[in-house]
Amino acid sequence: MEYLGVSAAQVIKEATNTKFQIPKGMEEVNMCEAIEVLMNRRETEGIQLGITQGKLSLLKDLVEDGTLTMEAAAGKVIMSVEGFEEYMKKEL
């Protein structure tokens, strides 16, 4: 099913917080385009999450081996020292 009714497309748009266009006056919406927008957004979010986790992991390693202070590491990721200490206690 490539096309979907406008009301169903609006529900999907709101439920997924996706910014695909629903042209005025149309009775059906091309959901392939909408799904592509959603997938691209999720991919971008996943990449950003991976980058953030990588930075935190590296900073954790640098603190553990004494190369970097807890305060300096927290400052690099704009966290409180307490917040970074909590992160240090967690497993990745």
Give the Cα separation of 89 and 92 in Å (integer).
10
DSSP for 8-34, written as a single string: HHHHHHHHHT------TT-SEEEHHHH
pTM beyond 0.85, yes or no: no
> pLDDT tens, 16-59?
887 777 778 878 877 787 788 888 888 999 999 999 999 999 99
Are 49 and 76 spatial neighbours (Cβ–Cβ below 8 Å)?
no
Q: How confident is the model at residue 81 (pLDDT cuts 50, 70, 90)?
A: very high
DSSP for 69-91, written as a single string: -HHHHHHHTT--HHHHHHHHHS-
